[in-house]
Structure 1
């Protein structure tokens, strides 16, 4: 009996390694033949704070269903983020999503996450602890979250750059 309990706690630990944060819940309507159909749209950011993050959108007749769909969608759209030893970004990055543009710069240890709105949520759940970020253009939370994920997806480590160029990593420093 004790063995079963252990298995159950392990499976819960695996599931709970992902954190979910709801960025926005919006009531939306669709005009149909009989009148207006009401539903909810949830923007959810899913991350493990160890370099993986995803942005998802869910729509359902109730809020809980919309959030569940958003979490499932976020897990489908995961992005791997290369982090430095100081939990910062390897280089500056710019991401685009709809009319939104997000600019990110690495920061010194102890700076914290200097970002606003949905971008802050995406960076925190990705595990970034020292970064400067700025939203430019639109202030739509969904487009800003997608732009932040796009910027994080475009990052490369020094090892990846060296491999692409076909030179040793030490030559990049010189």
Structure 2
């Protein structure tokens, strides 16, 4: 579980540091958008009151607290699931990414009332209208990793309890 804790903490810190640096340090709140690599990467300020890509966005304050409760509940469930299953290192890394990212977005909702999104990636002449952040990427990779690589499976030949 140390690996899960370290990955979750590193993900959370990286998310919060990048948000602070871009939003406050580079003053993206006032500037709005900065081209980093033209036509590929831009920092574009967006406040997300919903979940990924603004789904279920609502201005009502109660919606923010519902999303906070859901994120904390899922994080706790993933933590307990990985702990109970005695997950392998790969699963602990994926769980740590998911939990660290979720907690990073929870902190945003508590402090700002919305999640601070700023990364905007486009490619091949297709302009992406959505922004995301380090936490969103970590949540996506963590969830996908847990689905594709759920951890150790039961050993073949072991079924239930052994009888004396």
| TM-score > 0.5 by shorter chain | no
**Higher helix proportion:** 2
**Higher strand proportion:** 1
Give TM-score scaled by structure 1 length. Answer: 0.28
